[in-house]
C-alpha cells in the first residue's frame, strides 16, 4: 500500500496517518511498523515520527494466515450483493466469529461455505473472511462483508471515519420522554462486573442518537443511530438513562430483563445501513425488516393498546 502525504496536512504521527488512510487498526499498523514494513525512500520509519507533507510512504502488508476452519452450509439471507460487498441479515443467535465456546456454527463458517476464504477480504494478518464489523450474538440484522482486500480496507476506513450510517430498532422499557435525543457517555469495563460494560469515567467516548418511532403502553420503540461502535454500546447507553432494551437480562432487571409477553430474545435489530460503495462510491442503502418473532411482539402490544 502506498500513501502520499498531502500538503497542508496538520502535524500527525505517521502510524495514525497510515491507520486512518488504510482502514487498518492502529495497533496492527504499529505492529507492521515495528517489523520494519513501513518505509520512506526505502528506509524503515518509526511509529512516532510525523508524517511529512509531500512524502510518500510504502506499507508492506503480509499475506494473511489461513483460518483452520471448516465451511458449514448455514443459510445466509443476502440483502445486497455486488463485486465488492455482501450485506447479510444475521439472525439472532448466530455468532459472527469463532471463539471460545463457539468453534463452529458461525457467520464466518457460513461465508467459507459460500465461496471459501479467497472469495472474501482477509487483511489485518488473519483470514477473517470479509468481516469489517460485528453484531452481538443476541442482535439480529445487517452486517457488511467485504469480498476482496481493497473493499475491506475501504469499508474499514469508512467505519473509522464514521461515514457508515447504522440505524437500529430497539424496544425499550418505559415511556421515553423526549421524542428525539442524544446520549453522550463514555463506556468501559464495569469495575464491579468485568464481563459487562458500563458508563464509566475515563471510558472510551461513545455517542448514540435516538428517535421515538412508536409508543406502546409500558414500552417504547426507538430508532437508534450508532455514531460510535463500542462494545454493547446501545444496551449500556439505554440502560444508563433508565430505559433498558426489552429482553436484556444483562443490563435490565425484572420486567425489562424479561421483556413483554412472548419475547424470547433481546429486542435489538440492525435495521438499516447507508454507506458509499467501495468501488465507485455510489450510495448503498440496505434495509432488513424486523424478523417475525419481533414483529409478533409489536403486533401483540398494538392489539393490547387498542
Q: What are the residue numbers of the active site?
A: 136
SS (H, E, C) the chain: CEEECCCCCCCCEHHHHHHHHHCCCHHHHHHHHHCCCEEECCEECCCCCECCCCCEEEECCCCCECCCCCCCCCCCEEEEECCCEEEEEECCCCCCCCECCECCCCHHHHHHHHHCHHHCCCCCCECCCCECCCCCCCCEEEEEEECCHHHHHHHHHHHHCCCCEEEEEEEEECCCCCCEEEEECCEEEECCEEEEEEECCCCECCEEEEEEEEEECCEEEEEEEECCCCCCHHHHHHHHCCCCECCCCCCCCHHHHHCCCCCCCCCEEEEEEEEECCCCCCEEEEECCCCHHHHHHHHHHHHHHC
Q: Residue 84 and residue 175: Cα distance in Å, rounded?
A: 42
Evaluate whether 102 touches 92 at the Cβ level (below 8 Å): no
Q: Residue 176 and residue 213: Cα distance in Å, rounded?
A: 11
Amino acid at each position: 500500500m502506498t500513501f502520499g502525504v498531502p500538503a497542508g496536512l496538520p502535524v500527525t504521527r505517521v502510524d495514525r496517518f497510515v491507520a486512518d488512510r488504510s482502514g487498518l487498526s492502529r495497533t496492527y499498523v504499529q505492529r507492521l511498523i515495528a517489523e520494519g514494513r513501513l518505509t520512506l525512500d526505502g528506509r524503515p520509519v518509526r511509529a512516532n515520527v510525523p508524517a511529512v507533507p509531500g512524502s510518500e510512504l510504502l506499507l508492506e502488508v503480509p499475506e494473511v494466515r489461513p483460518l483452520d476452519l471448516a465451511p458449514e452450509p448455514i443459510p445466509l439471507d443476502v440483502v445486497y450483493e455486488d463485486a465488492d460487498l455482501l450485506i447479510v441479515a444475521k439472525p439472532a443467535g448466530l455468532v459472527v466469529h469463532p471463539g471460545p465456546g463457539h468453534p463452529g456454527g458461525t457467520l464466518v463458517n457460513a461465508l467459507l461455505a459460500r465461496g471459501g476464504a479467497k472469495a472474501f477480504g482477509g487483511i489485518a494478518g488473519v483470514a477473517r473472511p470479509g468481516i469489517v464489523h460485528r453484531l452481538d450474538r443476541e442482535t439480529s440484522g445487517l452486517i457488511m462483508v467485504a469480498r476482496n482486500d481493497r473493499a475491506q480496507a475501504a469499508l474499514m476506513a469508512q467505519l473509522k471515519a464514521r461515514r457508515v450510517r447504522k440505524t437500529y430498532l430497539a424496544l425499550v422499557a418505559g415511556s421515553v420522554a423526549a421524542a428525539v435525543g442524544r446520549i453522550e457517555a463514555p463506556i468501559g469495563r464495569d469495575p464491579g462486573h468485568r464481563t459487562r460494560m458500563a458508563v464509566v469515567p475515563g471510558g472510551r467516548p461513545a455517542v448514540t442518537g435516538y428517535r421515538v418511532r412508536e409508543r406502546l403502553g409500558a414500552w417504547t420503540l426507538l430508532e437508534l443511530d450508532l455514531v460510535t461502535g463500542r462494545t454493547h454500546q446501545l444496551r449500556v447507553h439505554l440502560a444508563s438513562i433508565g430505559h433498558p432494551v426489552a429482553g436484556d437480562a444483562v443490563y435490565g432487571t425484572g420486567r425489562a430483563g424479561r421483556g413483554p409477553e412472548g419475547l424470547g430474545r433481546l429486542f435489538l435489530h440492525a435495521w438499516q445501513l447507508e454507506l458509499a460503495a467501495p468501488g465507485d462510491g455510489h450510495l448503498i442503502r440496505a434495509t432488513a425488516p424486523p424478523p417475525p418473532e419481533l414483529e409478533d411482539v409489536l403486533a401483540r402490544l398494538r392489539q393490547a393498546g387498542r
